[in-house]
Structure 1
Amino acid sequence: MLGFLVYTLKWGLMFKNLILTSLFFPLFAIPSFGAKEMDLAGTWYNANPDKLRAELNGYLTNAKINKINGDTIAFIVPHAGLRFSGEIAAYTYKTLSEQKPEVIILAAFSHKTHFDGIAILDDDSCNTPFGPIKIEKNLVQEFKKYNNKIISYPVAFKDENSIELQFPFIKIVLPDTKLVVFAFGSHEYKDIEVLSDTLYNVLKNKKNYVILASTDMSHFLPYKEAVRVDNITLSYLKELDAEKLYRVSEFNNHGLLCGFTPVCAAISAAKKLGANEVKILKYANSGDTSGMKDSVVGYVSAAFLKTDKSAEKKTENTSRTRAEIKKDTTMNTEQKKKLLEIARNSLKYYLETGKKLEINIEDKLLLKELGAFVTLHKYGQLRGCIGHITAQGPLYLTVRDMAIAAGTTDPRFSPVRIQEMDSIDIEISVLSQPEKIKDYKKIEMGNHGVIVQQGFKSGVYLPQVATETGWSREEFMNSLCAHKTGIESNAWKTGACDIYIFTAEVFGEKINE
């Protein structure tokens, strides 16, 4: 009994001291009951409310926004440490400060946790250094009731920068706005469709809300290369084609958008809710904000608008783009010869100088945006192979860059030495757009390349792998799953992974001798 009284007295005094400290030294807001705590304050952003307020106000003051004609339905906003991406995020939040939505629906993802379904934050509020942001609990229940794939999963929100980095801006710009927060746990398109459908059907008869999709852009590329890749991504965003953006992002080696799942869901939902235009509010990268340009991360603030423009015109433009992608890309002998020359000269020049070869091309086909792989062989044995499944720029630049990558960064091999170049022959594979299939029997050995994906894991075999190995379909797919992707060898049979097929036009120095 005495021990219990001592224990009670001890904790009572501690509680009293906590209250007194909060009254006389109000450096931090008192956490609200049932709140999501601040996990990243003091690391990803300043924990001191006065210093943080000054920093955010500085970003907002410097954000020069033009008048937006139309209703904003959704935004894209970055989520890196505020000293890197805060300047860009401010363009979204300054625009939001004029719109003053009653509810913000934040779509993000978990960097650390893989799970089935889409998590929704079920707390009463989210703490910030400026005090709590209330969760719109009634709307949370509506979302959960509409689709049982919307689940409570608190782990998804722990230590998650794609979510928490938005809270300080929201609280300072829109102190009375309420929140709903989603987090994706996988990269599967079916989950994108679930959230898009749920957002549309729950929100279609509501007003004064906005959707935020949290993402950064390319990761850890040199400055100029990052700008080139990010500009391609921005062009994809402007097409308002969620399915195309998903395909492009899913198989990209550098990650066009780390948050491509929430972005695709936001695009799809926004279109259903009437969006017909994308306005890029601000693009920059960490090289611009930090001055360090050797390895940068890209950021964008963008708005999805419902304008007076004819949606029909937009659809026609998108249809023409798709038709152009499907045009015959068969190359003539001179075009193949030119690409092989670019690959060899680029790798040799890089090995000699450490720099990329500057190339001028006028051929329209070589200027088209197509995916490609470059394969190196030495005395008939593989010496390196790297490529992009989907387009990231003009074909001739992709071939240049992939030749350098195959020779210097393939983790299976040591870098090629300049003395080896006379012993190496080069093969190029120009790829069609991947197509998802449900029936693996559609795979034509020797004609189709195959991609398998399960959650965050994916692997690819080019069409010529079947020809070179002589494998049956079963041997080919078992190896692709087990050895290239790191999943169960029979996942392709059981439906445990997604399967994509593509074709490739393959040509090389030895083939053309």
Structure 2
Amino acid sequence: MSIKNTFIVPHPPLIVPRVGRGQEIKIEETVKAYDKIARKIAELRPDTIVVATPHSIMYSDYIHISPGKGAKGDFGEFGEPDIKYEADYDTEFVHKLSELAERQDIPAGTLGERKKSLDHGTMVPLYFINKYYTGYKLVRIGISGLSSIDHYDFGRCIADAAEKLNRNVVFIASGDLSHMLKDEGPYGYSDEGPAFDKEVTEAMNSGNFMRFLTFDEEFCEAAAECGLRSFIMMAGALDGRAVNSELLSYEGTYGVGYAVASFEVTGSDDNRRFGRLYGMEEEERINSLRKNEDEYVRLARRTLESYVIHHNKLEKPDNLPSEMLTGKAGVFVSLKMDGQLRGCIGTVSAATECIADEIIQNAISAGMEDPRFNPVTKKELNKIQYSVDVLKESEPIKSISQLNTKQYGVIVKKGRRSGLLLPNLEGIDTPEEQVSIALKKAGINPGDDYAMERFEVVRHN
């Protein structure tokens, strides 16, 4: 046995009548669709229901699976502490899933639980399911800051666990869409909000899970979505499966997108191995970039590859352009993988004999010593995209109005504290955002007196 059906559902607490106090009437289509899938789940009579929720424990580099024999929860946070839920966990499934993820080198498991109680991303689906069926055990999984493909591959492990344990499993991908559909909504309005919801619901209706994998991170952040990684995990659980896709409802009444969709497994389809297809497209894209990389980027890449594979610091080549061998400047080396930052380390001013040495030093640091990430591994090298920023001399400025995020980076200083932000970064659209992030990096209070400098860079991609 294996996964027979998966569902995408939203999790607004107000959909529960005692919490919504009449507000649920305005999302009646969502309620009807929710009841429809709950009745379908009752017909399927699953042994195990797997719920992926963005409101369980979330780590930047680890997918958390809830441990123990079970958990309880209530809607006290939303004014109704007497609405309570209790779920028994499928401990055997959790153990097998953790084991399979470890074999696939996916950072996932039951470590680091900080809050045991059920979250509303889990309880809202249970409210509907439990009206019709209670003969199941639960597996609750959080999302993480890992890449889309990591979540997809983890979804494949879920399907594998179901097959190995001969479980009848239903997968619930809990997640709202954009939170920026209306000015009066919880986060206001952005053009990306409706655009995201249109694209993602079209993907749901057609069963085009490749679209889930290829959304731009900056676009998703601007749309303020919360469910995409749950959906991607679900897509991975359906890897290689033919499905009957149906978008049952979509509403954005309260400025947040609520979609209900069903994906019924109808057989096998080797053309729907989207993780493999995504990997092939990414490899082709990276290879194309490397064919066109200049000497600055090539030196950064070769340096890190040499260090990771051979544990040796690359000797500086003699045939580099003269400006790399004689010029001095601060240099930042940035690494991206699967569309996400993978490391970035640099120097504000020259710390070595020449730009080439600066690149070699900072390429190793970006790959191995950035405290936000684990060291780069051999298997990651072919997926990494490099960029090198060579800093020009900075100049003091008196006002934030003298900044332009596309042209200038910024340095903020107070005493021995300083923070730097490069120019032309994804998601940084205003000088105010730029300075705010630089202050945070420096540990400087925005209300303090501080000095600012601006600088330009020559960016090599």
Normalised to the residue count of structure 1, the TM-score between the two structures is 0.45
> Greater CA radius of gyration, 1 or 2?
1
Q: Which has the higher contact order (CA 8 A, sep 6+)?
A: 2
Normalised to the residue count of structure 2, the TM-score between the two structures is 0.49
